[in-house]
Structure 1
Amino acid sequence: MSEPRPGPPAVHVHDLVKRYKGMDRDAVHHLSFDIEQGAVIGLLGANGAGKTTLTKLLCGVTTPDRGSVRIFGADPAARGGRAKRAIGVVHQTGPFDMMLSALDNLRIAARFKGLRWRDTQESATGALHAFGLEKKADQLVFTLSGGELRRLQMIRALLGTPPLLILDEPSAGLDVTGRRQVWKLLADLRRQHGTTVLWTSHYVEELERNCRRVLIIHEGRLVEYAPPRTLAERFGGQIALVRPLSAHDTERLAGALGTRPDGHPLRVAVSDGRVEIAGRDMRTRLPSLLTRVTDLGIGIDTVEYRTPSLEDAFLALVGADR
């Protein structure tokens, strides 16, 4: 990925607070962060973490109770402001006119964005081709599959090549090929136009693969904002996969490794006949744990170490049960 462009931030959020009527806590609680121009940033959080509210605030759909949002220096909630014209959004669900063709829906979307179709048609046709929808352009939208609708949402958001794209689960409903098409298109947009992307996904691995940094929020609060590899190494913990000589000893092995004579917690799980162990200083502590296991008469077949992932870090930061 190329370096972000210099200049003022594409997104500036300062001390942002939003609470809805009847809630006992803020949906968004004193959030502050910047997104530099040209960056691809992941937004990660469990359901109810505040991601949707934050997206609405960035788009100017709702207004903050406290703090401020600026999109390329402008207030997104200002009536007729330039900030709204700078944003393209892919929502989880997209309002299409189901009795019109895909192409007619794009024409209407261009009109709402204040774009002339003759200036937009060539790029829209190119996007239809890139997403494999060129033969479906004249079909009524209700005849399209869920994955095709998702791709049409992406194309609609890209009309006019907005400098900021906010993607809410853009890969939901797409197969592997569709997800890779999205990844390639976003990489091309960033390379050719310096497009800034804020990308929400439950596919943690695609954020890890494609994003420069990741915002992790939990219960409306900013937990961490850092590169995926940094988060994985700092919070993902060290992980080992231990396989016993006899499959019958798997549960015994898990029980023995799960005991904590030194008082430091280790996370232990059983999967595919192996015991997964994770936790602080695990690699240093494991030899003595395995010595104790063999003293109990449990033979060890293999021990493998695995590099921690962004998903490991996320679960460690917000809780694996959430």
Structure 2
Amino acid sequence: MTVAEPAGHDRRPDLSGPDALRCTGLRYYFGSTRAVDGVDLEVRPGEVFGLLGPNGAGKTTAIRAITTLLPVPPGMVEVFGHDCARERMAVRRLLGYVPQQLSADSGLTGRENVALFARVFDVPRRERAARVAAALAAVGLTESADRLAGTYSGGMVRRLELAQALVSAPRLLILDEPTIGLDPIARTSVWEHITRVRVATGMTVLVTTHYMDEAEQNCDRVALMHRGRIRAVGSPEELRAGLVRARRSTGAATDGPPTAPTLEDVFRHYAGSGLDGRESTEDGGDFRDVRRTRRTASRVG
């Protein structure tokens, strides 16, 4: 994996070939509870797509269905034209996945953690050492590669998990709350590394986040999800413009110069006060802090 220096956020996705991801009427139930309720979604090759929603919106359930961790009927989810029900192994070979739950082992070094994932993803033996080194370099962990992961800061743990997902050279990278529990500096660092790799490789990124500023700065398009359904889809600019039109049509505009809405304003328009219940921790922390925060996030979202 050769990673070039970032040349800015490339907003020209490759539209050739099948969609990177297509969900058609995606539904999933836990008993009588409908967690995902008829989601239709298309993610274009090469774009960064944000799936936004409050806790309990169904984002993580949808992600688990897309990554084949939850079974769905044929025809509901396709990744680069491969059906997630009929071609599970083919789909898995195309994916890199960073879940909410901690996936790094504190008792292994950074290099050992990434090497383990290289074996899990069946990276050829003769390529493993080079691929592991390249993945660690891509996220800025070369100097720390032979330290135990348990000594890493929260931001370093998240970058290590990103390296684990990148070692198989995925075409679609899926990030479920990639910066939860990190301080603003660590959050920025994680996104800089994601952007660098994406620009260099052209991979597609699907990310869930509660941080509207992250979505606004890094996503080509976003979908707003609430109570298991997609409420709106578009670029941040399109969604902000749509809110301005909606306010005008309902007479909500006030006298004087209009205040330009933010993506958070758009979110509140569709999800009410859902953002108020988000899991927000502005503490960079360490390995134990990340594990504790992930467990909380998993329970509530």
Smaller-chain TM-score bracket: 0.7 to 0.9
1:175 aligned partner, one-letter code = D
> Is residue 179 of structure 2 the alignment partner of residue 171 of structure 1?
yes
Which runs of 5 or more residues in structure 1 are unaligned?
240-263, 265-278, 288-303
Q: Which residue of 2 aligns with 1:18?
A: 28
Report the CA distance between 1:321 and its aligned residue.
5.1
Greater share of residues in strand = 1
Identical positions, percent: 35
Equivalenced residues, count: 263
Measured in 2, the distance between the counterparts of 1:188 and 1:314 equals 28
**Mapping of residues 6-155 of structure 1, within 5 Å:** 6-23=16-33, 26-64=34-72, 68-78=76-86, 81-116=89-124, 118-155=126-163
Q: Which residue of 1 aligns with 2:189?
A: 181
**CA RMSD in angstroms, aligned pairs only:** 2.4
Report the CA distance between 1:182 and its aligned residue.
2.7
**Mapping of residues 167-316 of structure 1, within 5 Å:** 167-235=175-243, 280-282=252-254, 286=255, 306-316=259-269
2:242 aligned partner, one-letter code = R
Worse overlay, 46-55 or 111-120: 111-120
2:123 aligned partner, one-letter code = L
2:121 aligned partner, one-letter code = K
Report the CA distance between 1:187 and its aligned residue.
2.6
* Secondary structure, aligned partner of 2:76: strand
Report the CA distance between 1:158 and its aligned residue.
0.8
Measured in 2, the distance between the counterparts of 1:63 and 1:165 equals 20
Report the CA distance between 1:308 and its aligned residue.
0.9
Which runs of 5 or more residues in structure 2 are unaligned?
1-9, 276-301
Measured in 2, the distance between the counterparts of 1:2 and 1:95 equals 30
Report the CA distance between 1:172 and its aligned residue.
2.0
Measured in 2, the distance between the counterparts of 1:321 and 1:199 equals 19
Measured in 2, the distance between the counterparts of 1:93 and 1:113 equals 19
- Whether the 8 Å CA contact 1:15–1:66 is kept in 2: the answer is no
Report the CA distance between 1:237 and its aligned residue.
7.6
2:267 aligned partner, one-letter code = F
Report the CA distance between 1:92 and its aligned residue.
1.2
Q: Cα distance 1:16–1:145, how it changes in 2: closer, same or farther (>3 A)?
A: same
1:187 aligned partner, one-letter code = T
Worse overlay, 118-127 or 158-167: 118-127
* Secondary structure, aligned partner of 2:72: coil
